[in-house]
């Protein structure tokens, strides 16, 4: 998944029904999709959009949550078009229901993490009329073949899915073609603040070493889990209020939507030098980080103002996603 463009980014204000774009070095946003304060189902409108992806051609994929669809929107165009869902809320494979996260791969295939259907569906770029069940879909539950309110999702180059299984307080690894997942972070049904626990995770990404980064929303932290580990290591902890979205930019900085504080935060990456030789990374990653990566706990605010909600060009209203 492509990260933020260097020095420019896009974010969603889901309760203002729009997508904004920020030019380099400015906190002033330009509306490029949707209409401020105007929800609707027309192709020019959005209704509580929650997730966004921007490809290398600057085409935007927008998870239009309350319209139960994903729109693809070419940069500068007045209208989007449906590439997933768009047939009302439901459990048929031609439909999606309330969803808060998605992943778009290099072939423009869309993985939708369906929160209320407790499943993940894959919508191929060659067939936007019907999805394919690729995870969950057996109703809400805590067994390995079930999900319970899945949120964030990351798909690696092999098609393996890492799913933030929010109400089970865990991350599930779901291999291509599998009928069940494996817990790789957290403990099923055991929410808490300890290193082995998660509490309502919403965001996830994976680096080239296979390290999993989890936005542990209710604990206001980011946990890094090594492959096979039974506990995570805190790499970011801050005074955030229900953060929903996390993304790495192309310099490895972690960007987080501090949703109910109405701002977007950036945590800068640094790479301390080491004298030992580090083995070559086993995985490909769109946004590689160094093996010794640490993130500055003193964040910078990219846009928005702590505790100040608004719809002006410099304020935010419940930002949910960034790209």
pLDDT digit string, tens, across residues 147-166 = 999 999 999 999 999 999 99
Higher pLDDT, 167 or 2: 167
What three-state secondary structure class fits 66?
helix
Residue 168 within a domain? yes
Q: Give the neighbor-by-neighbor strand order of the sheet with 203-206.
A: 203-206, 212-216, 221-225, 233-237
Q: Calculate the average pLDDT of the chain.
A: 86
CATH of the domain at 136: 2.120.10.30
Domain membership of residue 76 (yes or no) is: yes
Task: Write the pLDDT tens digit of every residue in 177-200.
Answer: 999 999 999 999 999 999 999 999
Q: Flag whether 2 is in a domain.
A: no
For residues 191 and 199, is the Cβ–Cβ distance under 8 A? yes
Looking at residue 6, its pLDDT comes to 33
Residue 24: CB atoms within 10 A of its CB come to: 9
Give the pLDDT score at 314: 75
pLDDT of the residue at 2: 35
- 131 inside domain: yes
**What is the value of pTM for the model shown?**
0.89
Residue 209 lies inside a defined structural domain of this protein: yes
Range of the domain at 316: 9-322
Q: Is residue 269 part of a domain?
A: yes
Alpha-carbon 236 to chain mean position: 17
Residue with the larger pLDDT of the pair 117 and 76: 117
Structural domains in the chain (count): 1
Task: Give the pLDDT mean for 276-298.
Answer: 69
Range in 72-76, 224-228, 306-310 the model is least confident about:
306-310
pLDDT > 90 fraction of the chain, expressed in percent and rounded: 59
Task: Judge whether 280 lies within some domain.
Answer: yes
pLDDT for the residue 25: 61
Note whether residue 4 is domain-resident: no
pLDDT attached to residue 320? 80
Question: Residues for the chain: how many in total?
Answer: 323
């Amino acid at each position: 998944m492509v990260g933020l463009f260097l020095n420019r980014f896009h974010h969603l204000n889901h309760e203002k029904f729009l997508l904004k774009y920020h030019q380099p070095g400015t906190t002033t946003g330009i509306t490029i999709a949707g209409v401020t304060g105007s929800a609707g189902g027309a192709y020019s409108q959005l209704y509580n959009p929650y997730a966004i992806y921007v490809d290398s051609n600057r085409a935007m994929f927008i998870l239009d949550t309350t319209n139960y669809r994903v729109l693809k929107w070419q940069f500068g165009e007045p209208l989007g078009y449906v590439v997933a869902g768009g047939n009302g809320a439901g459990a048929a494979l031609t439909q999606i229901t309330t969803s808060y996260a998605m992943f778009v791969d290099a072939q423009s295939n869309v993985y939708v993490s369906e929160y209320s259907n407790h499943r993940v569906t894959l919508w191929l770029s060659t067939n936007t009329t019907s999805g394919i069940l690729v995870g969950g879909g057996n109703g809400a539950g805590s067994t390995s073949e079930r999900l319970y309110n899945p949120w964030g999702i990351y798909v690696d180059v092999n098609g393996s899915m890492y799913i933030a299984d929010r109400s089970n307080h865990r991350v599930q690894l779901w291999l291509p073609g599998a009928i069940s997942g494996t817990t790789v972070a957290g403990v099923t049904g055991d929410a808490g603040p300890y290193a082995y626990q998660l509490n309502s995770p919403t965001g996830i990404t994976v680096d080239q070493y296979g390290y999993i980064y989890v936005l542990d929303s209710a604990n206001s932290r980011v946990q890094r889990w090594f492959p096979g580990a039974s506990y995570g290591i805190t790499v970011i902890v801050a005074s955030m209020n229900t953060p929903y979205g996390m993304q790495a930019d192309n310099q490895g900085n972690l960007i987080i939507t501090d949703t109910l504080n109405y701002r977007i935060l950036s945590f800068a990456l640094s790479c301390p030098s080491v004298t030992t030789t580090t083995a070559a990374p086993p995985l490909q990653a769109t946004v590689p980080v160094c093996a010794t990566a640490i993130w500055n706990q003193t964040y910078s605010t990219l846009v928005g103002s702590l505790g100040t909600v608004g719809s002006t060009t410099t304020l935010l209203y419940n930002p949910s996603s960034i790209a």
